Amino acid sequence: MAITVHEFAHAFAADRLGDDLPRRQGRVSLFPTDHLDPVGTLMMAVTSWTGFGIGWGKPVQTNPSAFRNPRRDQGIVAVAGPLSNIAQAALFSVGIRFMYMASPDGALRGSMWLEFLYSGLIVNLALAFFNLIPIKPLDGSWIMTAVLPYPQARAYEIFMLKYGPIIFLLLIFVFRGAISMLIGPPVAIMRSLLLWGL
Domain ranges of the chain: 2-194
Query: For the segment 131-180, what is each residue's pLDDT rounded down to a tens digit?
Result: 999 999 999 999 999 999 999 999 999 999 999 999 988 888 777 788 88
HSE (CB half, 13 Å, CA atoms) of 13? 24
Q: Is 157 a catalytic residue?
A: no
- Catalytic-labelled residue, pool 7, 15, 19, 139: 7
CB 74 within 8 A of CB 62: yes
Q: Rounded to whole angstroms, how far apart are CA atoms 139 and 10?
A: 10
**Number of neighbouring beta carbons within 10 Å of residue 86:** 15
179-193 pLDDT, tens digit per residue, is 889 999 999 999 999
pLDDT in tens, 40-99: 777 777 766 766 667 788 999 999 999 999 999 999 999 999 999 999 999 999 999 888
